[in-house]
Amino acid sequence: MRQTPIGNPIRRVDAVAKAAGTLKYVADYHFDDMLYAKMVRSAVPRGKILSIDLPDLPTGYYFISHKDIPEGGKNQLQMIKSDYKCFAENEVRFIGETIGLLVGPDRGELEELLSKVDISYETQPYSVTIEEGLECKGGPFVGDDNLFCDFTIDKGDVDKVFKNADRIFEDEIRTGWQEHVHLETNGAVALCEGDKFVIYVSAQCPFYVRKSIAGLINRPYEDVIVRQTATGGAFGGKEHFPDVLAGPLLVATYTIGKPVQLIFDRFEDSAYSVKRHPSRTRFKTAVDDKGNIIAMDIDVVYNAGGYESCSYVVLQRGVFHATGVYNIPNSRVRGRAVATNTFPSDAFRGFGAPQTLFAVETHLNHIADSLHIDPLELKRRHFLKKGDVTVTNGHINENVVLPEMLQQVLDQSGYPEKVRTYEKGSYKGIGISFYNHGGAFTGNGEQMIIKAKVRLKKNRNGTVDLLIGSTEMGQGLQTALIKIVADALQIDPKYVRYPNPDTSKVADSGPTVASRSTMIVGKIAERAALSLKERWNESDELTVEEEYEHPEGFPWDQATFQGDAYIGYGWGACVVEVEVDPLTFEVNTTGIWSSHDVGVAIDELVVHGQVNGGIIQSLGYAAMEKLDFSQKTGFKQVGLSDYIIPTSMDFPSQRCTLVENPYEYGPSGAKGMGELVFNGASAAYVDAVSRAVNRPIYSIPIPPETITELIS
């Protein structure tokens, strides 16, 4: 049996190579005869391409566009939806849309040539904001209403309850764009290997890339081999977006026959990449005479940008999390994803949940204010418990340990005492938030769509290879999964190897997204390891493969969105304390306390790393990460000196604790947690600032300029 609890930290398997700088990232790959590519992009938010004037291309230089897609190939990237074009043809929908690639041996020369490409457009009026998208400014460009999707879920009888409500509160909460700022920018190399094509790429989901681009050259998936290179951060920004690089590169290498590399510089990666969906959430909330919430009518709109990609799924998660961690007896949530002429919004840690969770937390704070009670009083009264009915009329199937988590953050932060002593408007404030995150794919997606597989191979020398498509991107997955496998096999983790995936060699364990990898893939890996252990002496070399098994008794109807949207949730509570400078309205965060239920931590240090990073990222989202549209570069705050993310100086060190709550269907009781930790700190921060300056806050981010406006 296991000697020490699995949660005890070990040195991360990727630590030494990363610290020593010996790890090879995609920009470090060089192949004989390799050419470089530069993207030719749309310079206008909406218009028709009238002409493309190229400078004279020296020999060995190429311009690759939709015209190079071979017969039978389709000019589309197959993401969740297939509307994203590999190359714009006649129309462009946003600034930065790919029109072509300039390819050649010298990157300096390519820069020169790029500056001489002259594209003329017939421009059209365009939409940027949610309102402009909904109004179809300049005429709709998606269907007749600019909506990629529009659906509503109902629980109980909202209309009836509203008629009898004591008080009704209306509110509108907004969140902005957010850029991923993964340390390593996007990059890929494409080349031919025999009669196959190979893509080296910094990506979360190698199998997604393969599926997305093989159709461009009309080949079966297997003819495109994707090899994930060491990935220096992703946060969702490398879920579908690598397809936007890999697709054109595949067409280029198909046409030219040589390896081609495309690496974005920081400016490109920041201006011309997908972002978190901006949101507008409207609430109408009915409260009875005892101050209990009896119904909520919620209208959620996400700005999806120029193409749908995965927005429908992002929106679903947003809608399913719209009432937060609260049991609201009657609710109606409508969700819409609207098309605008901005760079497509896409996956970003939290995948739609952070926007509505921020909204509902902030809305409840506003209600508590009107009721003259502390937000905590209002919130804890409505905490979800095991057996409660969810917004999709499913159930909470697990023990909810929010009360224990709350106790931890209260004890550590001194919240009750501080609420009493910090007067509103005293420039000191403390705030609190609660949040959850449904683990893995929504509903029965794991069973119906993903069907994950895990392969383990025992080698002659007794080592074991974990052969799966799941990826390490800095989050610690290699360490976690190696520990799970080693633990089940009862061998030292150093005998388990987990190479970066190559789609021709590993089992498709599904995308590395949705906080599913430890919880779902880890569980399958655990089963595979147990079965390998049983068969260990059968032969010197042995391969076992296991598939996902869906637990019984969790009904879900994907057509009506009814039933158990998620089988297990991670839960969180966060307290943030601030001091606002009365001269400059700069905010100094003086304390951060959090407690999370992640089931059981597979490695406490990895979990703490995720908590620390997730919370800082969430605070950056609320405090400083301002991103506006620009007619020139698509986004105004581009690059690291203008797009402001927190440094290690900006927030104090955190106190984070866990409440252990083993999850029946996870490996060693683990649940998903990578996104959970992003979902809530922003609301606690805004609560704290709002109390410190005694003003309600309706949108994020809130840099000092915004706080000044609130006060004056």
Partner 1 sequence: MVESCYIPKDLKEALRIRKETQARPLAGGTDLMVVHRRGTGVVPSFPWPVMIVSRLPQLQGIFTDGNEIVIRSLVTCSEIEKNDDVPYQVRKAASLLGAHSLRNLATIGGNICNASPKGDLPVPLIMMDAKVVLLSATGKRILPLDEFITGPKKTALHSDEILTEIRIPVPTVPYSHIWYRKIGTRKANAISKLSMSAAITFSQERIVTDFRSANGASGPKVARSREVEQILIGTHAREIANKIPEILSAYDAILSPHAMPEYRRSSTRRMLHYFLTKAASEDCERIII
Q: Does 264 interact with partner 1 (rule: CB under 8 A)?
A: yes
For residues 141 and 132, give the distance between their C-alpha atoms in angstroms, rounded to a whole number: 12
Contact by Cβ (8 Å): 597, 571: yes
- What is the four-CA torsion angle of 560, 563, 566, 567, rounded to 10 degrees? -150
For residues 317 and 309, give the distance between their C-alpha atoms in angstroms, rounded to a whole number: 15
Q: Which is nearer to partner 1, 499 or 704 (CB)?
A: 704
Q: Which is nearer to partner 1, 315 or 616 (CB)?
A: 616
Q: Does 553 interact with partner 1 (rule: CB under 8 A)?
A: no
> How long, in residues, is the chain?
712
For residues 362 and 380, give the distance between their C-alpha atoms in angstroms, rounded to a whole number: 15
Q: At its nearest, how many Å lie between partner 1 and the CB of residue 213?
A: 22
Sheet strand arrangement including 118-123: 91-92, 47-53, 118-123
- Please state at what angle helix 353-371 crosses helix 311-320, rounded to 10 degrees: 30
Count of residues that interact with partner 1, criterion CB under 8 A: 32
Binding window for partner 1 (CB under 8 A); candidates: 127-135, 158-166, 263-271, 377-385: 263-271
Q: Which is nearer to partner 1, 9 or 703 (CB)?
A: 703
Q: Which is nearer to partner 1, 113 or 191 (CB)?
A: 113
- What is the four-CA torsion angle of 366, 367, 372, 377, rounded to 10 degrees? -100
Dihedral sign computed on CA atoms, order 598, 603, 605, 606? negative
Q: Which is nearer to partner 1, 268 or 297 (CB)?
A: 268
Binding window for partner 1 (CB under 8 A); candidates: 102-110, 144-152, 658-666, 686-694: 102-110
Q: Which is nearer to partner 1, 98 or 515 (CB)?
A: 98
Q: Which one of 156, 233, 563, 646 is in contact with partner 1 (CB under 8 A)? A: 646
Q: Which is nearer to partner 1, 100 or 570 (CB)?
A: 100
For residues 245 and 232, give the distance between their C-alpha atoms in angstroms, rounded to a whole number: 16
Q: At its nearest, how many Å lie between partner 1 and the CB of residue 32?
A: 17
- SS3 of 226-239: the string is EEECCCCCCCCCCC
Tokens of 207: 């199998």
Q: Does 21 interact with partner 1 (rule: CB under 8 A)?
A: no
Q: Which is nearer to partner 1, 609 or 646 (CB)?
A: 646
What φ, ψ does residue 242 adopt, rounded to 5°?
-55, -25
Binding window for partner 1 (CB under 8 A); candidates: 12-20, 374-382, 456-464, 637-645: 637-645
Q: At its nearest, how many Å lie between partner 1 and the CB of residue 31?
A: 15
Q: How many CA atoms lie within 13 A of 66 on its CB side?
A: 17
Q: Which one of 624, 658, 688, 700 is in contact with partner 1 (CB under 8 A)? A: 624
Q: At its nearest, how many Å lie between partner 1 and the CB of residue 265?
A: 5
Give the number of other Cβ atoms within 10 Å of residue 19's Cβ: 10
Q: At its nearest, how many Å lie between partner 1 and the CB of residue 106?
A: 9
Q: At its nearest, how many Å lie between partner 1 and the CB of residue 88?
A: 21
Q: Which one of 131, 404, 650, 660 is in contact with partner 1 (CB under 8 A)? A: 650
Q: Which is nearer to partner 1, 320 or 585 (CB)?
A: 585
Q: Does 628 interact with partner 1 (rule: CB under 8 A)?
A: no
Q: Does 36 interact with partner 1 (rule: CB under 8 A)?
A: yes
Q: At its nearest, how many Å lie between partner 1 and the CB of residue 33?
A: 16
For residues 161 and 286, give the distance between their C-alpha atoms in angstroms, rounded to a whole number: 8
Beta bridge partners, 286, equal 168, 295
CA distances from 591 to 98, 150, 577 (A): 44, 40, 5
Q: Which is nearer to partner 1, 203 or 295 (CB)?
A: 203
Q: Which one of 59, 537, 641, 653 is in contact with partner 1 (CB under 8 A)? A: 641
Nearest residue to 36 via CA among 103, 116, 85, 84? 103
Binding window for partner 1 (CB under 8 A); candidates: 359-367, 431-439, 544-552, 636-644: 636-644
CA distances from 555 to 130, 255, 393, 562 (A): 34, 49, 10, 8
Q: Does 652 interact with partner 1 (rule: CB under 8 A)?
A: no
* Contact set for partner 1, span 174-213 (CB under 8 A): 185
Q: Does 649 interact with partner 1 (rule: CB under 8 A)?
A: yes
- Non-local CB neighbours of 2 within 8 Å, separated by 6+ positions: 487, 490
Q: Does 38 interact with partner 1 (rule: CB under 8 A)?
A: yes
Q: At its nearest, how many Å lie between partner 1 and the CB of residue 649?
A: 4
Q: Does 108 interact with partner 1 (rule: CB under 8 A)?
A: yes
Angle at 147 between CA 144 and CA 152, to 5 degrees: 125
604: three-class secondary structure by DSSP: helix
CA of residue 35 relative to chain centroid, distance: 32
Contact by Cβ (8 Å): 621, 681: no
Q: Does 28 interact with partner 1 (rule: CB under 8 A)?
A: no
Q: At its nearest, how many Å lie between partner 1 and the CB of residue 523?
A: 40
Contact string 560-599 vs partner 1 (x = CB under 8 A)? ----------------------xxxxx-------------
Q: At its nearest, how many Å lie between partner 1 and the CB of residue 583?
A: 5
Q: Which one of 27, 57, 165, 389 is in contact with partner 1 (CB under 8 A)? A: 27
Q: Which one of 150, 644, 660, 710 is in contact with partner 1 (CB under 8 A)? A: 644
Q: Which one of 222, 265, 423, 538 is in contact with partner 1 (CB under 8 A)? A: 265
The helix (H) or strand (E) run that includes residue 249 is: helix 242-256
Q: Does 29 interact with partner 1 (rule: CB under 8 A)?
A: no
Q: Which is nearer to partner 1, 664 or 705 (CB)?
A: 705
For residues 690 and 172, give the distance between their C-alpha atoms in angstroms, rounded to a whole number: 16
Contact by Cβ (8 Å): 663, 656: no
Contact by Cβ (8 Å): 371, 111: no
For residues 346 and 83, give the distance between their C-alpha atoms in angstroms, rounded to a whole number: 13
Amino acid (1-letter code) at residue 266: R
For residues 23 and 230, give the distance between their C-alpha atoms in angstroms, rounded to a whole number: 7
433: three-class secondary structure by DSSP: strand
Q: Which is nearer to partner 1, 118 or 642 (CB)?
A: 642
Q: Does 111 interact with partner 1 (rule: CB under 8 A)?
A: yes
Q: At its nearest, how many Å lie between partner 1 and the CB of residue 585?
A: 7
Query: Using CB under 8 A as the criterion, which residues of the chain lie in contact with partner 1 when the complex forms?
Result: 27, 36, 38, 107-108, 110-111, 185, 263-265, 268, 582-586, 624, 640-641, 644, 646-650, 703-705, 708-709, 712
